[in-house]
Each structure stands twice: as C-alpha cells, then as structure tokens.
Chain A
Amino acid sequence: MSVLVFAENWDGKFKKITHELVSYASGIAELTGGVVNVLSIGKVEEDELTGLGRFGAEKIWKVEGDEVAFLDNRVFASVLAEAVEKTGSRTVVLAHNNTGKAVAPCLSARLKAALGASVVALPESHNPFVVKKKVFNGNAFARVALNTEMRVLTLMQNSYGLHEREKQPEILDFVPGKAEKPAIRVEEVRKQTGKILLADADIVVSGGRGMKGPENWTMLEELAGVLNAATACSRPVSDEGWRPHSEHTGQTGKIIAPSLYIAVGISGAIQHVAGVRGSKYIVAINKDPDAPIFEVADYGIVGDAFKVVPEFTRAVEEVKKS
C-alpha cells in the first residue's frame, strides 16, 4: 500500500511544496500502511534528495535520462505508471501546480485510477478513500470518494504544511523501460531570474485599480522589498497592461496561498478573492470602507493607500529591526 510522490525540481533543487508533498504522503502512509517512495525526474543535487528523508521519504528513485529532460505529459505519465508498478504503490501524490495538473490526469486515465484533484487535507478515511477538495473556486469544499484500487491526488500548496517524520532514505536509480518517446520539442525557454516567484512567495504585496497607474507601483515594490515579498495585481491591472499577466492573481489568473497577502487598492471582487482566499492572513488597505475585500481580510486600514503604504513600509522596517 505504498505511496508514491512525484518530486519536480527547479534547476536541481526542490521547493517547500516538494517537502509538503512528502509530508502529506507520509500522512497517507500512516493511514493506509506502506512506505513513502519518491520519484525524482531530472538532475537533482544529492543532498536535496537526502533532505526528503526529514519528511518521511524512505525510498527515493531518480530518473535522469534525456527522455525526461523536459515535460512531455505522456512521457512523464508513462514513467510514473512504471514507477507505480515497481514500487507497488496504490496512491500517487503530485502538486496541484502547472506540472501536476498536466501529468496527473494523464496518469489517472492511463491507470484507470480515480483522480482527487486540488485536495486540501488528508483523506478522512481510506476504505472508502474519501478526500476533501476545493470546488467552486474555493467557495465550497466537496467530499469525494475515490472508488478505485489506485488513486492519483494533487495537493493544493500550503494546505497541509510541513510535518517532520525523520527517515534515512535510500537513493536508487530508476531506469524506465517502458517510457513513451517525447512528441514535443522545446525550442526556447525564457525565465526571469532573481525575482521572488509569486507561487513560492510567503508574503505577497498586491495592487489594484486603486493604485491609479503603473508609475505608482514603486511604493508597492518598496514594501515588497522590505518584506521579502513577491508582487501581484488584480485582473483590471493586468488587462490595462500596468503589470504583466503573470502577476494577475484571481480565479482566471494565479491561485495563491501565501502566509500573508496584502491587498492595496483592490476592491475584492468575488473572482479576485477566489485566487487569494487560501492565504493565511489577508491585510486590506482601501479608502472605501464598504469594499468587499474587508469581508475576507483579517486586518484592514481604511485610508488613502498613497499615504498609508509608505508609512506602513517604514513601520515594517522598524519591526524587522527590533
């Protein structure tokens, strides 16, 4: 009844989400019995692999061949399917991020294994296997029974957290014999470097139409700099071209769940809230006391953002120094 985790890497390193997935898989293994296996695809540094033991990984399988040099959904699904067979796993855990969303459904259809997507907690029972998942853009949760012997789960980031269960993992080579051949070609990769990515950020500073124009983002960037935060924006802001689409948080943009989300000049339309309601704490700064953002905020300041934000930045600096 082993559990298999798909561990994606970013330039040879794992992220917090990887540790969260291993933690979550260990939680499932406690429920169903069996051990936690990890399949790492691509070249990853040795101590990164060993580090997964802290969260309960017992066997770490690495695949490093050219066939997995980039994401081809069917190739990855075929490698995972083979790893499921080899490790005797009944449950596969992936992140509910771009890669997980690409691979999990292919794997599910390939194995005829029920898919529990965007799950937010450990299964409430394992026979039947019942998971809690996000539905209606976070406006509700569903309890879903996964009625097959095998199942594939994608976990929402920051929903389970990190739980240490120290193990001494064994690191093994995995050479797939039944992998599909890549059918796509990656011509070019463009990536920004040196910036904190929205998906990884623990703190996010976000601006809306109330910021009045792209030239006013400097003050948000200063606040973000002091907090070591990423910047984001609401949909009208990216539609106007004030900020890039990659910063749009909301239902049709990025869904994020940082520890702290600071919404400045954002009214809080239901579609925007759908993208940020998973945040642990929400701070709203808005001059309209009736703005719906205050309904989901934990702390709020009703006032002029252009005055409040610079003063708040200085106040945060003070706190950080103390």
Chain B
Amino acid sequence: MKIAVCLSHVPDTTTRIRFVDNNRRLDTNGVQWIINPWDELALTRALEIKESSGGRVEKVTVVHVGRAGADPTLRKAMAIGADNAIRVDADPADAFSVASHLAAALRQESFDLILCGIESSDYNNSAVGGMLAELLSVTSVSAVSGLEPADDGWLLHRDIDGGVEKIVASSPLVAIVQKGIAREPRIPSMRGIMMAKQKPLQVVPGVEVNPLTEYLGFEIPAPKPPCRKLDPEQVKELAGLLHKEAKVI
C-alpha cells in the first residue's frame, strides 16, 4: 500500500502580513516558510499509519507544487519520516492549477490513500483536496478528524455540526483532514535530518493548465478603534454598553 500526502508551503502563521508592488504581491522579505499546519498533521497521521501497519504500507510520499524554494520544506517532511518527495516544478497559480499539477503527478503511481489538509493558511480556499479528487475521479471525504485502515478500506471520522460520523470508504481515497487527525506534529530528529539528505527528491515538470482565477490585489483590514477599557468595578457599565451601544445583548 502507498500513501501520498500533498504539502503546501506557507508563511509561518505568526508572520506579519504585508504586501508590495502596489499591494499585488506578498512581501516575502524575512518570511519564514513552514509546512502548512493541516498538511503537517496529515503527514504525521500518514506516518503513524505506516508504522503500525506491520509493513502493509510500503511508503509515504510527499508531493508539492512549486519552485525550488520549497525544497527545504520537502527535506523537512522527509526528516520527519516521509520516504520520498515529488516536487512539480510549476508556479502554483491558483487552486485549480495546483490540483491539476498534483493530479498529473499522482496518476503516475497508484496510491491507495491521498491526504490533503483541509485548507492552507495562506489563501484559505479549502479547495485543492476536493478538486484533486474530482480530477482523479476518486472518492473524497472532507472534514476528517480520524483515520485508520479497515479490512475493506478506511475507517474515517468526519466532523459534522455538533458531532461526528463514522464512515467506511474503500481505496483509492482522498481524505481531506483537519484538527484531531493527529495530536501533535512531529519534530525532526538529528538522525532524521541526516537520513533525509539521502532520500529521493524527484523534480517533475508541470502540465499545461490555465488557471481559472486571478488574484488582482490585496488589502489589509482597517485597524479597529482602540479598545474601551473599563475597571473591574464597572461590570454594570459593560453590560449597559453591550445592551445600549453595541445592542448585542
């Protein structure tokens, strides 16, 4: 059995977001790049499944669409435990083009399970996993917070409003995962980092695809007016303000 994990490469979530070129492009000056938090959890779960599979899962492959700047991120994924990495050498123009590049790369091998994080912390589209599944004509389950192998495929927990569904799905499957799927992302060990240098990072060309959308520009929301601070004795005033001024209670 083979598992693929799609990785996006995003600015550290504590980055102060700024734009350049007349607000048309992210200012990447000083930005630390990390594995998208949800993808990192997906990778962690994939490795846990491999380790407890008694050899049934032969490898975990990480796949990324982007330029060479993301190679350290892919090395990190291999230091955590991925067996190999594929980088589709193309610009991630929009979610549809990323999904199209991924679909072409993943079609080259038969993966039983493809994991994607539910969203990336840069463009917040929650789109790539579902698009990829559709392009591959494969079943997908989204909002997955639990995943384990079952006799006839996979047993999943899907979050719904106020609860959870237990779902059975067969391979091949695209599972789009969110919080709960793994407890803590793994930290690479020294040994892992050394081993990652020997693991294969394959660079493949992208496919011909026209993006469906175009980012025209960005804006930073206007700062909020300063907080109205009250003393601990003024709880009545606070309740009054929420009632009369804000009209929310």
Chain A residues proximal to chain B, CB less than 8 Å: 10, 70, 72-74, 77, 96-98, 101-106, 108-110, 112-118, 130, 133-148, 154, 183-193, 195, 197, 199-200, 202-203, 227, 245-246, 248, 251-253, 259-260, 270-271, 274, 280-281, 283-284, 289, 294-304, 307-308, 311-312, 314-316, 318-320
Contacts and interface: CB of A to CB of B under 8 A. Distances in A.
Contact of A245 (B180, B224, B235): B180
A184 B139 contact: yes
Nearest to B220: A140
Given A109-B99, A253-B179, A10 B161 contact: yes
Interface stretch (B57-65, B104-112, B163-171, B195-203): B163-171
B249 interface: yes
Contacts of B231: 301-303
A280 B227 CA distance: 13
B229 A319 contact: no
Interface stretch (B1-9, B11-19, B72-80): B11-19
A184 B140 CA distance: 9
A291 to B, nearest CB: 10
Interface string B114-154: 00001101111111111101110001111101000000000
B135 A109 contact: yes
Given A146-B213, A270-B13, A135 B126 contact: no
B96 A109 contact: yes
Nearest to B236: A315
A283 B238 contact: yes
A137 B38 CA distance: 13
Contact of A301 (B125, B218, B232): B232
A101 B142 contact: yes
Contact of B122 (A136, A270, A289, A320): A136
Nearest to A188: B166
Contact of A183 (B14, B119, B170): B170
Interface of B: 11, 13-14, 17, 19, 37-38, 95-96, 99, 118-119, 121-131, 133-135, 139-143, 145, 159-170, 176, 178-180, 211-221, 224-225, 227-232, 234-236, 238-243, 246, 248-249
Contact of B246 (A96, A271, A281, A314): A281
B127 A108 contact: yes
A51 B169 CA distance: 37
A147 B216 CA distance: 12
A258 B78 CA distance: 41
B213 A104 contact: no
Contacts of B169: 183-185
Nearest to B137: A74
A272 to B, nearest CB: 11
Contact of A298 (B95, B135, B221, B227): B227
A143 B216 contact: yes
A260 B234 contact: no
Contacts of B14: 270-271
* Across the A-B interface, the 8 shortest Cβ-Cβ residue pairs: A105-B130, A303-B232, A191-B163, A102-B142, A109-B134, A114-B212, A315-B239, A109-B131
B126 A101 contact: yes
Contacts of A320: 249
A144 B236 contact: no
Nearest to A96: B126
